[in-house]
Each structure stands twice: as structure tokens, then as C-alpha cells.
Chain A
Amino acid sequence: MPPRAVLQALDQIWAALEPLGLPMALMGGLALSVWKHVRATQDVDLLVGLGETPVDEVLARATDCGFRPKHNPPTLLLGSFQVLQLEIEPEDSFIAVQVDLLLVDLAYHREALDRRVRIILPQVEREICVLGCEDLVLHKLLAGRIIDLADCAALLRANRDALDLDYLTRWTTELRLESDLRRVWDEAFPGGDAAPV
């Protein structure tokens, strides 16, 4: 996927949703680069704190700005977690870039979104936010594929000195991810300190 298409999709979805005033943070592959782990990615993933806002309002903003839902019905409801998958065809592109909105209202996500970090990305016209490193680690542990665990180990190693271990261990325990964290911690720091959980 051409990088310009992904960055353009990010810029457009951010511009579309910003007027709603919802807390949002970039997650996924592009966010990894911000936290010192550079790898290719093919789409845009955003965590969005939905609060009391109806999901239809989010969908309407997105479709008004040129996005189309990937599925019908547009949202998938899983407990208190909703996924809204969108597509947009950036200028000069023959392929639609996928944009996934993870619409959340869990206590964990409220705290994760409170800790989001503001950044300016090249080729993106506005300031955006990215999940904190610890929260990217937690989401990668939840995703659980080999590539996600490898990302997780790389993030831990690259950001070891700056990690908030109290926060990381608290939510690792709450989300029942202790054994997953121990595994990737051993990968990140072979022969080093034991995992904090």
C-alpha cells in the first residue's frame, strides 16, 4: 500500500471525526513507528471513546466526508466494544484503504485514552493522538497473533527505560494477560530481569 494513501486516509478520518469532540488515538502499525518500532502496515486503526455519542453520529460524519461502511450492518457489537469498519479511496489511488474504528467505553479504555500522546506526523495536516506505548503493548497482547507478540517484544525492548511499569502491570493483571506478557518480556530481555507480573 503506498504510504501516502494510508496517511491521507488517516488525515481524512481524523478531520471527519474531530468535530464530534470524542477522545481518539491512533493504534496499529503506524503507531508502532512513533514508539520506535518501524514496520509496514496496510490500514488505519483508531481507538475512539464513544461515551454517550450514538454510533450513528460517528457513521454519519464519516460518510459525509467520503467514507463508506465496509459491511452491512456497518457495526459489529461485541459486549461493550463496537467495531465500525470503513473504506475510502484516496486521490490517485485505485484501491480503497480500510479504516477501522474501535468504539469503546470500558474503564480501561477511558484511562488509555486519557494517556494518549499528541503528535504531528509528516504529510498529515493536523495534530493527532497516538496511544501510549504501554497501551499499544496491551492491545498487541490482546490481539495475540505471532506478529502482534513480536511487535510487543520489540516495543518493550525499544522503550524499556520509559515504560510505566505500574500501569502496565495493573492492566495486564486486570485484562488477564499475565502469561502473555511474561512470554514477550522474556523475548525482549533474554537473561535479563524477570517480567514485572
Chain B
Amino acid sequence: MAGQLIPSPEMAAPVGKDLSTAQRVELWVQLMATCDELLRAGLLNSVDDENGLREAYRQWYKLEMSNHDRMILRLAERLREASQDAT
């Protein structure tokens, strides 16, 4: 079943194992900034102006967070079940 979630070790992108924590977080900052620029560029294709972009961005974030909220609920539910089983 291997190869369904992440690439094999041979195919995986280098993760910078030797980087310090600060360097890895800096990498996260760069990744986030790039993703944000790409997202804005994509959203700009479907809106006319800055106000439209802001509204489209808010809608995108709302959708992202609703997906995240479902994950939190699932996590909480599984913890509740596990703790009930344990008692």
C-alpha cells in the first residue's frame, strides 16, 4: 500500500534535514508567502478590483476553515471515544 500518501524516499523532495529550526521556519515563511502570491494571482482572474479580491480571499479562507473545523471535530470525537474506551 506504500506510495499512496507521500512519495517514496527515493522520489521525495529534499527536506533540508540539516537546517536549524529557525531556518526551517524561514522556509515555511517563504513557502507561505509564495502560496499567498499564487492564491492572489488566481483570485484576481475572477474579480475586477481590490475590493473584489478581498471578498474572494475572505470566501476562500472561510471554506478553508470550515474544512479545518471538521478536522478538529473529528479529532475531538476520536479522543472522546478513545478516552471512554480507556475508562
Partner of A145, one of B29, B71, B86: B71
CB-CB under 8 A for A81 and B76, given A2-B32, A176-B82, A190-B3: yes
- A61 at interface (Cβ–Cβ under 8 A)? no
CB-CB under 8 A for A81 and B80, given A37-B15, A38-B24: yes
Beta-carbon contact of B64 and A146 below 8 Å: no
In the complex, chain A residues whose CB is within 8 Å of the CB of B84: 79
Q: What separation, in Å, do the CA atoms of A19 and B87 have in the docked complex? A: 33
- A98 at interface (Cβ–Cβ under 8 A)? yes
- A24 at interface (Cβ–Cβ under 8 A)? no
Q: What separation, in Å, do the CA atoms of A174 and B21 have in the docked complex? A: 31
In the complex, chain A residues whose CB is within 8 Å of the CB of B27: 33, 38
Beta-carbon contact of B28 and A188 below 8 Å: no
Beta-carbon contact of A157 and B25 below 8 Å: no
B interface footprint on A29-45 (CB within 8 Å = 1, 0 otherwise): 01001101111111101
Q: What separation, in Å, do the CA atoms of A128 and B28 have in the docked complex? A: 17
In the complex, chain B residues whose CB is within 8 Å of the CB of A66: none
Beta-carbon contact of B2 and A190 below 8 Å: yes
Partner of B31, one of A40, A102, A148: A40
User: Which residue of chain A lies nearest to B86 when distances are taken between CB atoms in the complex?
Assistant: A174
Q: What separation, in Å, do the CA atoms of A95 and B68 have in the docked complex? A: 17
- B75 at interface (Cβ–Cβ under 8 A)? yes
- A133 at interface (Cβ–Cβ under 8 A)? no
User: Which residue of chain B lies nearest to A42 when distances are taken between CB atoms in the complex?
Assistant: B64
In the complex, chain A residues whose CB is within 8 Å of the CB of B80: 78-81
Chain B: residues with CB nearer than 8 A to chain A?
1-6, 8-9, 12, 15-17, 19, 21-22, 24-29, 31-33, 35-36, 54, 57-58, 61, 64-65, 68-69, 71-86
